[in-house]
Structure 1
Amino acid sequence: MMEQEIMEALNDPSNIIICGGTRCGKTTQVPQFLYETGYGSSKSHVHSGIIGVTQPRRVAVLATAKRVAYELGLHLGKQVGFQVRYDKMIGDNCSIKFMTDGILLRVQVVMFYITIFFSLVHFRSSIKFIVV
């Protein structure tokens, strides 16, 4: 899928599944598309909320958060944040939050997120199925 097709699919209120090969940009590029079109902005009435991205492993959370912040030219811990067990860097104006599956389950209000991306769904995790 190209960026325009992804954005058009997100306008439909149903869930979408994006399939692609390893390192094709599902986890790093799609959240950037959303951010650049106004998702995750507290100023938007239509797309307010945080873009949430889960990863099964702590190392992957840190690596993808750093990469997305770098590619967007933003500071890690401000607009792009992360949270893993015992460590988090999330600013008051966080738009994209990378986290482990377990962190998402601990969030009291999942509806706080406008979009949630589950990366590596083939890693069987009951947490992903509970949230969905």
Structure 2
Amino acid sequence: MTLIDEARKVRELAYAPYSRFKVGAAVRGRNGVVYVGCNVENVAYPEGTCAEAGAIAAMVAGGETELVEVCVIAESGKPIPPCGGCRQKLAEFGDANVPVLLATTGGQTLATTIGDLLPGRFDATHMADVAPQ
């Protein structure tokens, strides 16, 4: 299966009884393994979990800490970008040049990168001069 197929498949498992807006995400780790996640809502909105965060958590739980490819899919009129928090999460585990495919269930796609989604990203180099305590 391709990354978009994996994202499409897991999207169907999303728990979205409040918004009815199901999102699926798939990330490929450096090891080649694909990890998936879907959004999980909670009645105490916004205490839910984004699909991208779920896929990243599955990747880390699988022992991988570097992603090399991302796909996010939703039923929308146009491809949806990750929220700001998920952009930072993607940047934590992927280089700026990591490809990100944003897709709709209707077949529209938008190819971008983590760097394009989060220019000027905050990363560990910003803390390099902090003295240990």
More helix by share: 1
Structure of higher CA gyration radius:
2
The answer to whether TM tops 0.5 is: no
TM-score by length of 2: 0.31
- TM-score, normalised to structure 1, is 0.31
Structure number with the bigger relative contact order (C-alpha 8 A, sep ≥ 6) is 1
